[in-house]
Structure 1
């Protein structure tokens, strides 16, 4: 799935690790990703977290999509920072799943994301 994700590929998102219910990805913040405050635009942090969530909830045989998700931004990042997102499955039942994604820069947590997935027919 990631190999044909043109949006994530274009942003330089890299897949580090993938296992059942878990994914780890990274992205380097470029000058094109900062806003007028010279910090990373929240949408780019969200895209990294959302892509990592997508990889984790699609790590099984059943295709899944986001049913709901939200993010909490905890601290800003800037151009040159490497963001790493870790997605962990919290629950999987029926056609539903709940995943938490922590986005870090170095040792600091910069955002927390939660996503609910729903499996769909092929």
Structure 2
């Protein structure tokens, strides 16, 4: 479902991701789809998308998926695998919860380009602090 204005406003406070262009496209139970339109500032010296851009978008998608329903979840550990260079002008990250425990959760975030090619996969373990 489309995120409510309240959800969008809350996550705009995630300033690094927001100021780099990350937006929320969709949310569902322990799920988020976020995207980012690529600009020159997202490229490295070789003209490819900087690795940190993939990770920032994936981390933002994890934050939305794990927190939009009222939990306060922080990342304990994240690991990224770069699988290929993104093509086109947009990145899309989908965060899916694979394990939702009492105090921890495990998420897989796939970052794809606008053509559906997987560019990176991130696995993140989150720790639930409290309700927002």
TM-score by length of 1: 0.92
Q: Does 1:50 align with 2:52?
A: no
- For CA contacts below 8 A with separation 6 or more, give which structure has more relative contact order: 1
Cα RMSD, aligned residues only:
1.4
2: distance between equivalents of 1:25 and 1:104? 11
Q: In the TM superposition, what are the counterparts of 1:78-93 in structure 2 within 5 Å?
A: 81-93=89-101
Post-superposition offset of 1:3: 2.7
TM-score by length of 2: 0.86
Moved more, 53-62 or 25-34: 53-62
Contact 1:33 1:44 in 2 (8 A): yes
2: distance between equivalents of 1:17 and 1:45? 18
Post-superposition offset of 1:5: 1.5
Question: Gaps spanning 5+ residues in structure 2: where?
Answer: 1-9
